[in-house]
């Protein structure tokens, strides 16, 4: 009488596929995504590209402000890996200030003062 083993090559392959499917399902679940911190340096989410569509002007944007101009600054900084995507909230707070100053320091002749003026807007758009 021939003895059947419970793990034939066909069964092993099916088991491996089931494990891969389970891992993929868990990775896509909101619970798994919420538990993982933002990567450092931050990376743009899939399909984000360099297009930010909150604001298209160049009015001065300063610490403490809120709104679409701030969201645009944050989006542009996140696309350029100066700010984590979780910080794109429309509020010009300490994380945004530091990110603006780092961006300005990396793009002379900008002065790293943390104020998003016409020159900083231009550099953000064209970086």
Its pTM stands at: 0.61
pLDDT at 56: 85
pLDDT at 62: 97
Cα angle vertex 98, ends 40, 100, to 5°? 100
Question: For the segment 33-84, what is each residue's pLDDT rounded down to a tens digit?
Answer: 444 443 333 444 454 455 688 888 899 999 999 999 999 999 999 999 999 9
Over range 111-117, report the average pLDDT: 97
pLDDT at 31: 46
How many alpha carbons fall within 13 Å on the CB side of residue 46?
A: 0
Question: For the segment 7-34, what is each residue's pLDDT rounded down to a tens digit?
Answer: 555 555 555 556 566 556 656 655 444 4
The mean pLDDT of the chain is: 78
Q: Give the chain as a 3 state SS string.
A: CCCCCCCCHHHHHHHHHHHHHHHHHHHHCHHHHHHCCCCCCCCCCCCCCCCCCCCCCCCCECCCCECHHHHHHHHHHHHCCCCCHHHCCCECCHHHHHHHHHHHHHCCCCCCCCCECHHHHHHHHHC
């Amino acid at each position: 009488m021939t003895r059947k083993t419970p793990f034939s090559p066909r069964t092993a392959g099916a088991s491996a596929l089931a494990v891969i499917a389970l891992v993929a399902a868990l990775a896509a679940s909101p619970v798994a995504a919420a538990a993982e911190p933002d990567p450092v340096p931050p990376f743009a989410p899939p399909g984000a590209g360099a297009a930010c569509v909150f604001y298209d002007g160049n009015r001065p944007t300063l610490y403490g402000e809120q709104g679409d101009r701030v969201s645009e600054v944050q989006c542009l900084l996140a696309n350029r890996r100066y700010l984590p995507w979780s910080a794109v909230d429309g509020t010009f707070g300490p994380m945004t200030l530091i990110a603006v100053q780092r961006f300005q320091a990396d793009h002379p002749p900008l002065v790293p003062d943390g104020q998003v003026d016409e020159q900083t807007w231009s550099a953000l758009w064209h970086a």
